Structure formats: structure tokens, C-alpha cells
Homo-oligomer: A and B are copies of this chain.
């Protein structure tokens, strides 16, 4: 298989955590051993969590030698007083970055000498809580690092130079268009803000009449709410559905809410107004929002207004679509979408689309 095949795996993995990594970019990483065997496919999941590269390297080492996994579990549980039992439990854990980084340096036993990494974004050269990811590839004596996008961030960039200076073969621009699209929300956010519209519809386009999406879709939406700066919702949705708009399914902080409405005639006793530590504003202006990551939630009317009247800087849609045909009228609009990423989510699908 060629470079594009492996980069595609890395990009698809990263899409699964798009926006959730805010304010970090979504990044995916695939590691092949010196013979070209896939050892791991990982992505950065959340700000504060391990970067994609050390996470992929850690699991690559586990896959090369089961004893490294046992040793990691033993030391980690001892040090942090945790009780992780196996690789699966580590998959979803917020592993300590510094500990994991040091563990890799001490325990790699040259098992990844001459290995190859595919990374959707140039590895960082920035000394933060942990040393730069680029240095990790150098220390482990990787043979080559294949990169889709170069890092334009002034502070973190320079990773490719570190790699090249150490004699690692670097190839840039593999699946360039796809890698760029993955990075677009981050770039947009950096230069101002990133706004997207969340819509949940049945297979035949019905957005009303009770819960539409499955639990996993709704949990994903709550995870997104947990990282937002602002959630915008239409006034009629609030009047009719009386939603809580918190992030309880993800155990995350409820986002601040802007109710897009001319009138302030809301029943203030509904849960929406009574979630602790959340601000609620009512306004029919979308100027000077002072928020960099914004999600619009709503149905036909709000979507229509945002698209047709171009009063928002809305570029992307996130659509959850169930596999149910539902009796009811569909969202009746007329516009075309360009699918950027689509994936199964339990018995439904969800996808990121740009307006075209």
C-alpha cells in the first residue's frame, strides 16, 4: 500500500475528534514498524491529553512487545494510584503526558528504530509541558516521517527541520487537500472564529417530533457543547422544546447560550436558564459575539435564516442522520453540501459538510 493509504487512516482517525480537541488542532498519527507492519492508529483526543504522536508511539511499543504494556500499567497505576487493567482501558484515558513521554524514552529498547510515522500535521517543535514531539522521533531513531500539512503556527513549527537535521527522511504534502480540510476549523479559529450548524434528521429528513438521533450521537453533541465558547439557538426552539442545552451526557460544562430572538418573552423557570455557571443572552444581533468556537443548534427556520440571509459566518454543517424513516414533514430547504467526512455512529451516520 502507498503513502496515501496510511495517511488516509491517520486523517480519518483525526476527523473522529474534530473540534473536540479545541483549542488544539485535530491530528492523527499512524506508526509502521521497520517492515511496514501497522503498529498503531491514533489521534489527539482532547486538549491536555497526549499529542497524537506520543500516543501512537506508546501503543506501537505495546504492540511490539506485550511486556512494555504490563510495565506501563504497573508503573502508571503505582505512580498515579489508578487501576488500569488493560490496553482498552488506556485507550480512553487521559494519560499523563510527562509520565508517558518519559516512559517512552526509557523503555523503547530501539523497537521503533527505522520505523515510519504518518502524521496529518507537522510534529510540534515546541517545549510545553512535555518536550517536542519531533524530538521523540529523533530519540527513537525513526527512518521516515510522512506529513500532510506543515505547521504554520509560529510557536510550534520547526518540527520538520528537527527531523531532517537528525537524518530522518521527511516527506510533506501527502494527501494535501484532505489534510488541509481537516485543519480548516483550527485555521479559521486562529484567524477569528469557527462556526458550525448542528442538525439532527431522520433518514427521510424529519427534524421534529421528539428525539431523532441515537444516544451515541447525542453524547457526541454533548462532548462538543463541552468545548464550545457559545451555543446559539433560535428563540422558537426554546419556546417550543424548552431544552436544557447542557453537556450532561459527556459530564462536561454547559456552554454559554445566545438565544437568537427579537423578543424576550421566555419562561425563565425552564432548565435552560437555571444551569449553574452558564451565561444566557437574548439577542437578535450576531455581531461582536466575543466567542471563537460557536455551534448553532436548531431546525429548518434557524438554518434557513443563517444560510439565506448570510447573517452568520457559517461555513460547515454537522449532520446526525438516523436510519429511521419517520412520519412527518422534512426540513424543506434547497442547497447543496460537500461531504468532508462521514462515519457510522451506532445505527446512524454523522458527517461534517461544507456549504457549496
Chain A residues with a Cβ under 8 A of chain B: 1, 5, 32-33, 35-39, 41, 63, 201-206, 319, 321, 323-339, 342, 344, 347-349, 353
15 A-B residue pairs with CB within 8 Å? A32-B37, A36-B37, A202-B205, A204-B330, A204-B333, A205-B205, A205-B206, A325-B332, A325-B334, A325-B336, A328-B332, A329-B330, A338-B347, A339-B349, A342-B349
| Least distance between A33 CB and chain B CB atoms (Å) | 8
Query: Which residues on the B side are within 8 Å of A38 (C-beta)?
Result: 1, 5, 36, 38
User: B339 touching A335 by the CB < 8 A rule?
Assistant: no
| Least distance between A125 CB and chain B CB atoms (Å) | 30
Q: A205-B204, A332-B328 are in contact. Are A323 and B347 (CB under 8 A)?
A: no
User: A335 touching B325 by the CB < 8 A rule?
Assistant: yes
Beyond A329-B330, A342-B342: 16 further Cβ-contacts under 8 Å?
Answer: A32-B37, A33-B36, A35-B37, A204-B204, A204-B333, A205-B205, A205-B206, A205-B325, A205-B330, A323-B353, A325-B331, A325-B333, A330-B330, A338-B347, A339-B344, A339-B349
User: A331 touching B204 by the CB < 8 A rule?
Assistant: yes
| Least distance between A336 CB and chain B CB atoms (Å) | 5
Kindly identify which residue among B324, B335, B342, B353 contacts A337, using a CB–CB cutoff of 8 Å: B324
Query: Which residues on the B side are within 8 Å of A35 (C-beta)?
Result: 33, 35-37
Bound-complex Cα distance A338 to B37 (A): 34
Query: Which residues on the B side are within 8 Å of A334 (C-beta)?
Result: 325-327
Bound-complex Cα distance A323 to B205 (A): 12
Q: A37-B36, A204-B205, A206-B205 are in contact. Are A327 and B336 (CB under 8 A)?
A: no
Bound-complex Cα distance A169 to B199 (A): 49
The residue of chain B having its C-beta at the shortest distance from the C-beta of A325 within the complex is B333
Query: Which residues on the B side are within 8 Å of A335 (C-beta)?
Result: 324-325
